[in-house]
Amino acid sequence: MSTRTFRIAVLGGDGIGPEVCDQSVRVLREIESRLNNVTFDFENHHVGVGEYRVSGNALPDTTFAACQSSDAVLLGAMGLPNVRYPNGKEIAPQLDLRERLGLYGGVRPIRLFNEADTPLKGYAAGEIDFVLVRESTEGLFYGRDAVLDPDADEAFDTMRISRDCTLRVCRLAFEIARKRGGKKKVTLIDKANVLSSMVFFRKVFDEVAAEFPDITADHCYVDASALFLVRDPQRFDVMVTENMFGDILSDLAAGLVGGMGMAPSGDIGATAAVFQPSHGSAPDIAGLGVANPIAMHLSAAMMLDWLDHPECKRGAKMIDDAVAKVLADPAKRTPDMGGKLSTTEITDEILKAI
């Protein structure tokens, strides 16, 4: 059997991004050594505020080209809160990357690995387990490039919900529910009682639901879903929602299972995908060696799963199982989760568990 080589573009980025990314490459190298007939070709590329300071471009053409031609992209984090373009706009190459690669769906699995890590009572490992799918190209963040007139007496943002973008993100959510094979349920999170854009979202969602008769479709208002996430997270299997609702709910959801350091994500497009932790560059702890790399490692596992090769899928499960094994011991935690291990030390534990 011939060997299959997967080209992975590795973009460390800013803040803790490179620290957690380097650790995930260590994990992936360990996995590679255990897979049959599969190798990974990692290529590091510059991106982010650091790169902007050097070259004046936060997403250089060479980096973008590498993302386009690779089999997948592993990304740490990009952006720093106090560094902006001269016009005051946020330097957010992750949004440019999403747009240019057509990454329409932000997939955020939320899973409790140990009952000690949730602020909720009465949930054992695995009993909080759902996926949030966030539309990533439009919604209420659609007009992010609008510049505020300093003399304005009013300001507006636009909620754009288009048929095409809604169809594709809803289909992605239903396909994930089918693949998970759990409760086989997709809940649309909307605000159809108030916003006509959300009435439209619901109408398109219902059309997609009819394409998936084996999956239960359900609706929940976004305010109620915030309550249910805290009171009864088990009512959810796959949730799908517009951009900003997804942004907010994914932080809430991460808080249910240990915080931002536990929340992986995949930005999925038709022909490309970028895997990165849900958190940002966390400049307050950058360089201290204490960042929690688990969200990054779980994102690397999502990447292997997405590569859709039986050996890579086996590798993805090896990472998930190793993380579960390490976290089964409540003493093995980084400081954000009340522990004492460094970024490297907890990764060492994961390598041992593999």
How do beta strands 103-111 and 264-269 pair? Answer: antiparallel
Alpha carbons 285 and 281: distance in angstroms, whole number: 9
CA-nearest of 208, 195, 206, 203 to 160 is 195
Closest approach, Cβ 285 to ligand ATP, in A, equals 5
Q: At what angle do helices 17-32 and 294-306 cross, to 10 degrees?
A: 50
Closest approach, Cβ 210 to ligand ATP, in A, equals 35
Instruction: For the segment 292-351, give every residue that binds ligand ATP (CB under 6 A).
Output: 292, 295, 336
Near ligand ATP by CB under 6 A, which window of 61-69, 167-175, 199-207, 279-287?
Answer: 279-287
Alpha carbons 34 and 48: distance in angstroms, whole number: 33
**Beta carbon nearer to ligand ATP, 120 or 260:** 260
User: Are the CB atoms for 17 and 50 separated by under 8 Å?
Assistant: no
83 binds ligand ATP (CB under 6 A): no
Q: Which of 285, 302, 316, 346 binds ligand ATP (CB under 6 A)?
A: 285
**CB atoms inside a 10 Å sphere around CB 90:** 13
230: region left, alpha or beta (phi > 0 left; psi from -120 to 50 alpha) = alpha
**Beta carbon nearer to ligand ATP, 82 or 271:** 82
Closest approach, Cβ 81 to ligand ATP, in A, equals 6
243 binds ligand ATP (CB under 6 A): no
282 binds ligand ATP (CB under 6 A): yes
Residue 271 CA from chain centroid, whole number: 17
Near ligand ATP by CB under 6 A, which window of 3-11, 137-145, 282-290, 301-309?
Answer: 282-290
- Strand blocks (E) in the chain: 4-13, 38-44, 72-77, 103-111, 129-135, 185-190, 216-221, 238-241, 264-269, 273-277
284 binds ligand ATP (CB under 6 A): yes
Closest approach, Cβ 333 to ligand ATP, in A, equals 11
List beta partners, residue 94.
none
60 binds ligand ATP (CB under 6 A): no
Q: Which of 141, 280, 319, 326 binds ligand ATP (CB under 6 A)?
A: 280
Q: Show the tokens assigned to 353.
A: 């568990």
CA-nearest of 83, 88, 7 to 48 is 83
Alpha carbons 204 and 42: distance in angstroms, whole number: 40
Count of residues that interact with ligand ATP, criterion CB under 6 A: 14
Closest approach, Cβ 247 to ligand ATP, in A, equals 8
Q: Which of 291, 307, 322, 341 binds ligand ATP (CB under 6 A)?
A: 291
Counting Cβ atoms within 10 Å, is residue 316 exposed (0-12), middle (13-18) or buried (19+)? buried
Closest approach, Cβ 239 to ligand ATP, in A, equals 19
Here's the x/- map for ligand ATP, 248-277, by CB under 6 A: it reads as ------------xx----------------
**Beta carbon nearer to ligand ATP, 284 or 308:** 284
**Residues at the site binding ligand ATP, with contacts judged by CB under 6 A:** 16, 79, 260-261, 279-282, 284-285, 291-292, 295, 336
